[in-house]
Structure 1
């Protein structure tokens, strides 16, 4: 079911690449009842951060996953979470502490 939710957002990789990333531990799946999210831990000049690679399904379901995903990122030592998605995400997440920085949404953890 979760793959069906994520297909519309899967624009920069193939399904096979997604499955490989999940099986090799390069990415983590966060399945919910009506939505799913795929994240990865990344290292950058500012330190470790949580990258939200994919999200799909019911919007309320995606938003319900967010607190747990962010808590996990904090527990893993991430300094921030980033999302590079469609412009609608910026409007939706701005009130939740996200800011648009260099074309990506970022929120301190």
Structure 2
């Protein structure tokens, strides 16, 4: 069974990059060395792996990656910090 991974990198400018891959070690190394000069992370190195999740179906991994990319920075940080109970509240719009 081939695994897929959704991962989050913390960039040197404090932003987060979310990606999906079937070879986590290789992909992280590509981000670290700056293999792709057009990549979001290229000019934001160094990067640090702060979260990853394993999936047995690539379709589910891609779906989760797309979902996380839409999240706010606060919600991503809650996920990174394992504060799963906070996730639903961070999804709610704040009305004034």
Q: TM-score range by the shorter chain?
A: under 0.3
Greater strand proportion: 1
Structure showing greater Rg:
2
TM-score by length of 1: 0.26
Q: Which has the higher contact order (CA 8 A, sep 6+)?
A: 2
TM-score by length of 2: 0.28
